[in-house]
Structure 1
């Protein structure tokens, strides 16, 4: 019995692996255009998180030849994960690749690195991160199967600027003309917005449970909103119960939790007078779309990397409200750096109610959207 030999790709092919969350993708996607221009003679395949597949299809398909979504919940499933890994590997291995690019390794060690390790390619490119000696990532950090590593030890902290640095090194040009933006796609024809004429949006969800705001805080804030505005609730299946409880506690609430697709959510956001959100992908969507004002409730996990936005990327309509404990530490000498160390890895759980937190958010929204603090 003879084994069939893998054939070399008939044309040059590039596989880009990006399996992290919506916010990460928002801050990455603007660099697909210069990547397409530089790799014009390549067939480009993007492996992405299925959670934002709609956005990739609607906004970025012009820069890609193939898009392969991966269901991250199935990928990390204890029961079905192994077989799902094999399925994705088989699907990807049906095509041969000249080059594999992993723009960011650290946050998806069991996904991005996994695929890059087992898929054959002549060139495998990744970024070289700097890790502290006690970082548990070091236990699994084996980059030897990569042929090229882009040194990001001098890269800016904020994610968009860091991506610009990585791609300028990869493509050999400064990319100063690349701006942070997202063009609003057309509204699906089978969806009619039930939203009122004048409303604000509360986004309840977050990728980590510890970044979700306490239910009592949401209710307190909803009751403080100016009566001339309705409050539209948005979220995923994980926030259905919270949405129902907020709806019962405040008569001016429209509950759209689990009732919109990602593209439909974008259009709900685009018509809102204000957006209040946890530290999730939604504020990044809103900033890329040029929407606002946006009020971000943060537990400090993404400090420096995802919050706050640097001045050159934002406007005065972007506001971060940190947990009162973080605010106090920020006022001390070297407070920003101390907060980055103290509150990384979602150490602060926002589900635990703080009596002053809702009031601090209301103060930021006063007097335009809150009547009484």
Structure 2
């Protein structure tokens, strides 16, 4: 029954979008030495991808090209701060409005297709039919390059249709592979040259903040995009108390505007002083907060990827194993500072990467709140070489 509903829903969407597409008249003029990159996924995906924009811009193949980046508006501020040196033009798209607001969809497609490009590149591994693939189909270009991809965000029969939108599909291994490494494989193939990147990197320029940070502080990042990624706020507060009382760290609480309710809950449990920055920082300011921190405790979300890119020393991530192998854990060859506390079902098989990546590489339904505070404290003590008799 669900299968039939999905097919009916797809047909309705396809008909509506097909009618909109008929009203779009893409420019037939192909601009020489112009390249369009399409990347519409989340902040963490951008952090794991963005260093390859520089590689494109400085490559022998595309060094003389003007680069346009079609990106997700949620990371607009970051990209314009970090990558304006390598991107000649940004186009920003709101995914929610693009899906629900037909006039917005029409307006954006009209804007995106107003130029023709010599090359269009969609490096996303988990392609989607109604977003990136549909845009690739409409934009005029001499060459359209994509990733062979998987079926996480697209049905097999949809993919069979949209594969034909591309002139070249790059295969980057069907096995679960860490996302940064997969992107490296993709770009090395299309550039036909070796890329000397070992891990994500973010270089910050000196910047004055509008708030004062304490000395020697821990970043507690309690937010995450999905509920199954969120460890309980009460648990975070107890870990904060432990780090404050045993190690003497100050506490800085971070998260997005949607995490303000969690901030109130945290204040009910945490008895000491702390700096609450939830919903009060821009994404660029958050980078500086992370950069100046001594340690991070976070859910598996974009913040730990930022911390790795900023070379933070001690990053502790609490995860139910979602997308194991693809977004977590970081390979040891990239960093030794990224430490994950997984659900007990995963911890008992930590020596069997292949089994875990097969089981959880495409998602996990394990309850993140079954990860105990004691387990997290044990991990922290092991890494920081501290034995304590602290009582919860």
Q: Give the alignment's TM-score, normalised by structure 1.
A: 0.88
| Cα deviation, residue 21, structure 1 | 1.3
Distance 2:214 2:268 in 1: 18
The answer to whether the Cα contact below 8 Å between 1:31 and 1:178 also exists between their aligned partners in 2 is no
CA displacement at 1:276 relative to structure 2: 0.7
Summarize deviations over 1:157-212 as a string: whole Å, max 9, x none: 1111111111111001121356532101332x5x3233222210111122222111
**Cα distance 1:303–1:248, how it changes in 2: closer, same or farther (>3 A)?**
same
Task: Say whether the 8 Å CA contact 2:32–2:117 is kept in structure 1.
Answer: no
Moved more, 40-49 or 215-224: 215-224
Match of 2:30 in 1: 9
Structure 1 Cα separation of the partners of residues 387 and 124 of structure 2: 40
- For residue 130 of structure 1, report the CA deviation from its aligned partner: 5.1
**How far off its partner does 1:265 sit?**
0.5
Q: Among residues 345, 361, 364, which one is paired with 2:376 in the alignment?
A: 361
Aligned counterparts of 1:249 and 1:236: Cα–Cα separation in 2: 20
Determine if contact 1:247/1:255 at 8 Å carries over to the other structure: no
Aligned partners of 1:298 and 1:241: how far apart in 2? 21
Counterpart pick for 2:136 among 116, 123, 144 = 116
- Distance in 2, matches of 1:108 and 1:179, equals 26
1:206 to 208, 211, 224: 224
| Local SS of the residue matching 1:258 | coil
Distance 1:69 1:214, change over 3 A: same
Q: 2:169 aligns with which of 149, 170, 177?
A: 149
Displacement after TM superposition at 1:108 (Å):
4.0
Deviations along 1:91-121, one digit per CA (max 9) or x if unpaired, are 1122222221101141544321121122222
Aligned residue in 2 for 1:337: 354
Change (3 A) 1:86 1:285: same
Alpha-carbon distance between aligned partners in 2 of 1:42 and 1:361, rounded to the nearest angstrom: 48
Q: 1:267 offset after TM fit, Å?
A: 0.6
Q: Which runs of 4+ in 1 moved over 6 A?
A: none
* Alpha-carbon offset, residue 154 of structure 1: 6.4
Partner of 1:231: 251
Counterpart position of 1:297: 318
Q: Could you tell me which residue of structure 2 aligns to residue 61 of structure 1?
A: 84
Aligned-partner SS, 1:27: helix
Distance 1:330 1:139, change over 3 A: farther
CA distance 1:155–1:180, change in 2 (3 Å): farther
Q: Work out which of the residue numbers 25, 28, 31 in structure 1 matches 2:49.
A: 28
Gaps of 5+ in 1: none
In structure 2, what is the Cα distance between the partners aligned to 1:4 and 1:126? 23
What is the aligned length?
357
Give the root-mean-square deviation of aligned CA atoms: 2.5
